[in-house]
A and B are shown apart, each in its own frame.
Chain A
Amino acid sequence: MMAAGGADVDAGAPGSRLQPWERESAAQEAAEGVKAGTCTILDVVETLGSSLENGDSRIRARGLQMLSEVLLQCYSVLQEKEVTHLVLFSENRLKDHHTVIPFVLQGLKALSMCAALAPGLAVSVLKAIFQEVHVQSLLQLDRHTVYSIITNFMSSRETELKSLGADFTFGFIQVMDGEKDPRNLLVAFQIVRDIIVKGYALGPFAEELFEVTSCYFPIDFTPPPNDPHGIQREDLITSLRAVLTSTPAFAEFLLPLLIEKMDSDIQSAKLDSLQTLNACCMIYGQKELKDFLPSLWSSLRREVFQTASERVETEGLSALRALSTCLSRSVLSSDDEDILESFLRGILQDCRHHLCEPDMKLVWPSAKLLQAAAGASLRAYYRITSSVFPLLVEQYNKHLQSSQRRTILEVLLGFLELRQKWDPEEEDKSPLLCSKGALCSMVFSALVEPNVQLQLVGIRVLTFLGLLQGLLDHLDVARLVDSLAQFILHEEDSQTSLAAMEAAGTLTPFYPEIFSRCLVRKLSEGLHSELQEESSQFQHDRCLQALAAVSTHPSIMKETVPILLQHLQKVPKGSMQAGIHSVVSVCQSLQQVALQCKKNAQNYWYFHQAVVPCLMGLAVQAAMQENTHTVLSQVLLKEDSLSAMVLVISAACMYLSPELAAQSVSKVVPLFLDGELSFLPGNSFPSTFQPFQVGWDGQHPVATQKKLVALLTAFVCALPRNVPIPQQDRLLRELLALSCSCDCPFTATAAAKCFAGLVNKHPAGPQLDELLGAAMNKLEEGLNEGPRRSQALTLLLWVSKALLLRYHPLASRLTDKLLVLLGDTVLGPAAGDGFALLMADSPDVLGKSCHADVRLMFRQRFFTECVPQLVQGFHTASPGVKANYLKGLSHILNHLPKPVLVTELPTLLPLLLEALSCLDRVVQLSTLHCLQPLLLDAPLVVSLHVDTLVGKFLGLTESPAMAIRIAALQCLHALASLPTPVVIPYKPRVIRALAKPLDDKKRLVRKEAVTARGEWFLLGTPGR
């Protein structure tokens, strides 16, 4: 092998006639020989011998190239002695002709990666390079090789290199001085950073090192088009910034540079300087900053006061905060002056008077600067606010216009929000405490002004004051709560009363007693007033909303929940409608309370125990009394009321722990299956409760009892997946039977949903298979004929969805049935609409919040399985039912992720165009919704059909349905974003046609018409 390898190499050496690939393969072979141990590197060198010493530098270069190629492949197996020889040889070669040098460097790079490098050699290699090679006259690739050698040594021979002292640093400065290539700069910057961070000696060369890197600041680099290296301007900026901000030793050079560049006119230079300043504040102390603070401040101030760009302003402010933070952090020795103090004094001096100027022109920039400085530390915050708060109060009293007062309060609000950054602390020393009286009277006076905006800010200011513990005393808080109560109960503007409720919700946990005494009681009284006219109904709604909003503390919640439950039973005397409205409002409030207490298991359990039995008890009692016709029972049994209760029960069960859920479900299921009433409050139940009993159609009281299955659905379907449901099998069979046998659609749907929800969570196995078999039979039977085909369809939809979500194999059999039904003249339209149910996120039983088993890609799966059949079905269907297929298709497409849709568009677009001409409004609308994003995302495909699209969209702007007109106009707007040459021919036509919807009777339509028409006007004009 050695002979063979050697012979090949030999043939390659003098014979420059060998092709490059031949030489490569010779090197490859030799390297493999060395790696396999059949020859040594020494043999290779000896074989190459003549060419390495040849008088012709070109031949020497080739020999060295061959050698370095071999070395690059087999450096890991070399012996220490071999390495030493090769290193000494290479160092010597560095003195050779300049055409040879690149190959010597290649070899050295290979050797620099050797683990077997003897001590001292790294240093000598570097010395030789520093001495013999003028790096910057080499080509880019060879310069890169030098950087690689240095990097390799720095990572493996750190201590040796450090023994060189500052000479190493100086050597490297000379190596990189003048570097221009971005690829090399990234490596060189990394080396400089390592030199500094790893503690190599800088000696007297700190300034040189700074100079050689900072000359690139700010980075001005635009990557060439089609750049294969992918180096972005940002990469260079970050890596240079890491160098410049790596050591405080650079401070005296860097800060003047930054100040100079901040003053530049170029925005990118400003931004880079500000960000760099921000970064170096992380490591600087006040020693470094001290001398430059005045100039830094004046530059920053100028950037914020006279900014033309929001980004510069933001960066300026954050740099100021960084400066202030840095000064706050510094540890003072006893004789040091506190520079933070003098720095902040300067800022206050420059900004204070702007807060006082009568025209208030520079109020916001000044306030932002002050807030940035104050946001650095609690100390800075106290220093600034102790001066600013009294000033704001004074200005508030001086300015009388409400817009000016609002500005002042907003500034104050900004300062108060800042206070949240630090932990609460006794406010005894704080400037807030000193100005508390004045601030409070100012804010309270703002609340009584008629201006809504002023009131809104006032409420927020008060909220923040209230959050500062120990700041407000009892009287202040009582006054605060009174004002909130006033807004909640009597303010006409809903914005203000909502803000007041929100504030109350935030503050209740801090002052539960006062809120209970001053607000909850008033709200409860507000509910007692007789409901006679519309205004008092409005009042009741407010109280109900507010009761929910303040239930953010356990003790308050325990007061409000009983109030709400009690109110549920007080049905107003007026119309049925008012009664239902009242029940729905109470339920909405209860639902909100449930969501607010879901995080605290104990409160949530309290809520569950208080609310669920009560609601069920009321409903059961009402269902039994239905023939006695009390107003309450009639109201409660209305479907709207029941639906509202469903939401409450669901919200009260979703977040239960499995143990508690199991405890509760063991009472609820027997209630429905066996009429076990004992856990319900009250004991005056006049008859038995048997919702699943087969009764006579319609008239039997059982029909109303059956409706309550909706409540059962809400309960059992909201439970976590691992909660065992007692008598599950029996329950499922009852539900299945009920869903297909009941005339009332509400009940049938509730039963179908409950069945589907439980099936979705049911563990796989023979039990489930058997159950699904029974369901299939029921469906076959129900769908074929009979009076209850639509109930069967509902069941089919829900069960399909339940199985589709969990990727159950039976799902496709069910969806096949659904596809067949699209051709049905009676059930077809409903089946088409059903696709929306299949694709949409379920808000209730089959949703994630109800712990349903939902796989991630179910929609895509359904799409690929279903759409080909759907398209085929469309083509073969009779004209009368074609619309059903289009309806199904557009529902599927509407819910599909856009990327999937864009790839499928070319095949589907003709069908969608057909759907636009379909007379069914649902199809029209959902097709428009589906097309609109595609117009923006797939301009190329869409461009081919632009003629048809313009015509159809314009036609639909005259649809009788507002939603369709709006969607059509949105599509026309989107069309304007297609490539100008494609759409410009239609400009006059579209502009003319859109004049008509500008005068549409509906405002929402006019709004879209204005946007679309404006965009078409801009098409093809300058300045677009």
Chain B
Amino acid sequence: MVGPALAASPAGGVALENANPLIYRRQGERPVTAREEDDELPDAIDDREIFDLIRSINDPEHPLTLEELNVVEQVRVKVNDAESTVSVEFTPTIPHCSMATLIGLSIKVKLIRSLPERFKVDVHITPGTHTSEHAVNKQLADKERVAAALENAHLLEVVNQCLSGRP
């Protein structure tokens, strides 16, 4: 288990913690450039590409994406293709959001599934935006706890729901 907070189910009539989140506009699809269409030229993995991977993850509570809730922003995504590192900061909608670990886990899983194995993936909370920031970061950084969390069928279900595209 990653933490007790993860056991809380978002469904089932429990009142939402943040019922009226401010909704942000989605970025459009990344326009395809002539360079990208050229068979020969290599395209490096850049911040926008990483952001595109995670912006459409669904929030566990709302029928909205992390991008619409401003939980993830392109400026908080850093990638270094040459050194194979990715760092993502995410901002919970409210400082005591109990879903923070779950959101972090979803981002992490999405990146692990979508990036080449050479990458070292670091997902953490934007400093100063959550009450138990440190604890959550520690859980997300612990490989074994992440792996254990995904063994839990219930948790895996919630994560998969976040990761599956909108119907």
Residues of B within 8 A of A1023 (CB): 156-161, 164
Of B22, B63, B158, most A-chain CB atoms within 10 Å: B22
> In angstroms, how far is the closest chain B Cβ from the Cβ of A404?
10
The answer on a CB contact under 8 Å between B118 and A359 is no
The answer on a CB contact under 8 Å between A1021 and B156 is yes
Residues of A within 8 A of B21 (CB): 361
Cα of A1001 to Cα of B159 in the assembled complex, Å: 29
The answer on a CB contact under 8 Å between A364 and B23 is yes
The answer on a CB contact under 8 Å between B36 and A308 is no
Interface residues of B in 41-58 (CB under 8 A from A): 42-43, 45, 49, 52-53
Choose among A403, A998, A1021 the residue that contacts B160 (Cβ–Cβ < 8 A). Answer: A1021
The answer on a CB contact under 8 Å between B37 and A1004 is yes
The segment from B96-104, B108-116, B121-129, B135-143 found at the interface with A is B108-116
The segment from A151-159, A463-471, A611-619, A1012-1020 found at the interface with B is A1012-1020
Q: In chain A, what residue has the closest Cβ to B16? A: A308
Choose among B20, B36, B63, B160 the residue that contacts A1024 (Cβ–Cβ < 8 A). Answer: B160
A 945-974 binary contact with B (CB < 8 Å = 1; else 0): 000000000000000111000000000000
The answer on a CB contact under 8 Å between B160 and A361 is no
Is A115 an interface residue, CB under 8 A from the partner? no
Is A1006 an interface residue, CB under 8 A from the partner? yes
Is A999 an interface residue, CB under 8 A from the partner? yes
The answer on a CB contact under 8 Å between B116 and A362 is no
Is A768 an interface residue, CB under 8 A from the partner? no
Q: In chain B, what residue has the closest Cβ to A961? A: B39
Is B153 an interface residue, CB under 8 A from the partner? yes
The answer on a CB contact under 8 Å between A1010 and B116 is no
Residues of A within 8 A of B148 (CB): none
Is B75 an interface residue, CB under 8 A from the partner? no
Is B19 an interface residue, CB under 8 A from the partner? yes
The answer on a CB contact under 8 Å between B22 and A1002 is no
Is B1 an interface residue, CB under 8 A from the partner? no
A 984-1000 binary contact with B (CB < 8 Å = 1; else 0): 00000000000100110
Cα of A453 to Cα of B27 in the assembled complex, Å: 11
Cα of A1001 to Cα of B36 in the assembled complex, Å: 10
The answer on a CB contact under 8 Å between B53 and A1010 is yes
The answer on a CB contact under 8 Å between B163 and A1022 is no
B 24-35 binary contact with A (CB < 8 Å = 1; else 0): 110000001000
Is B117 an interface residue, CB under 8 A from the partner? yes
Q: In chain B, what residue has the closest Cβ to A1001? A: B42
Q: In chain B, what residue has the closest Cβ to A962? A: B39
Q: Known: A998-B114, A1004-B32. Is A1018-B20 also a contact (CB below 8 A)?
A: no
The answer on a CB contact under 8 Å between B63 and A1013 is no
Residues of A within 8 A of B32 (CB): 1004
Q: Known: A1004-B32, A1022-B156. Is A360-B37 also a contact (CB below 8 A)?
A: no
Is A226 an interface residue, CB under 8 A from the partner? no
Is A306 an interface residue, CB under 8 A from the partner? yes
Q: Known: A360-B22, A995-B117, A1010-B53. Is A1018-B39 also a contact (CB below 8 A)?
A: no
Residues of A within 8 A of B161 (CB): 1023
> In angstroms, how far is the closest chain A Cβ from the Cβ of B47?
13
Interface residues of A in 335-367 (CB under 8 A from B): 359-362, 364-365
> In angstroms, how far is the closest chain B Cβ from the Cβ of A1003?
4
The answer on a CB contact under 8 Å between B20 and A305 is yes
Of B49, B63, B156, B164, most A-chain CB atoms within 10 Å: B164
Choose among B20, B37, B154 the residue that contacts A362 (Cβ–Cβ < 8 A). Answer: B20
Q: Known: A961-B39, A1004-B32. Is A1018-B164 also a contact (CB below 8 A)?
A: yes
Interface residues of A in 147-167 (CB under 8 A from B): none
Q: Known: A305-B20, A359-B22, A1002-B42. Is A1018-B160 also a contact (CB below 8 A)?
A: yes
Residues of A within 8 A of B49 (CB): 1003, 1006
Cα of A111 to Cα of B19 in the assembled complex, Å: 63
Residues of B within 8 A of A453 (CB): 25
Q: Known: A962-B39, A1021-B160. Is A1014-B20 also a contact (CB below 8 A)?
A: no
The answer on a CB contact under 8 Å between A1014 and B163 is yes
Closest 7 CB pairs of A and B: A1023-B157, A1023-B160, A999-B116, A1022-B157, A1001-B42, A1003-B43, A1010-B114
8 interchain pairs, CB-CB under 8 A: A361-B22, A365-B20, A962-B37, A962-B39, A1002-B36, A1004-B37, A1013-B113, A1018-B160
